[in-house]
């Protein structure tokens, strides 16, 4: 894959057909969000602070609106779903 995140996502969608394509990792998400390539975001929050890693939304140039679509709180985690507003 030499044409970056947009090409990789397009190829994944072609292969997936009717199935959902998931993006994992902060740097991929930071590239795909501003390009309008993300329809939905799911965030899973657990009760542990690691103090390291790549922040999921640290390098966005502009605000991106989200609409909360789901919240599920369990003993282990809180699961949040958002639709990306365009």
User: For 67-83, what is each residue's pLDDT tens digit?
Assistant: 999 999 999 999 999 99
Q: What is the pLDDT of residues 5-30, one digit of tens each?
A: 999 999 999 999 999 999 998 889 99
pTM, two decimals, is 0.83
Contacts of 86 by beta carbon, 8 Å cutoff, 6+ apart:
36
Question: Helices (DSSP H) in the chain: which residue ranges?
Answer: 4-16, 26-32
pLDDT at 50: 83
Torsions phi, psi for 82 (to 5 deg)? -135, 140
């Amino acid at each position: 894959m030499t044409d970056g995140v947009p090409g990789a996502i397009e190829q994944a969608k072609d292969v997936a057909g009717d199935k959902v394509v998931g993006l994992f990792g902060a740097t991929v998400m930071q590239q795909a969000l501003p390009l309008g390539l993300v329809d939905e975001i799911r965030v899973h929050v657990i009760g542990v602070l690691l103090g390291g890693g790549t922040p999921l939304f640290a390098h966005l140039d502009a605000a991106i609106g989200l609409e909360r679509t789901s919240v599920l709180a369990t003993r282990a985690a809180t699961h949040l779903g958002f639709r990306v507003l365009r």
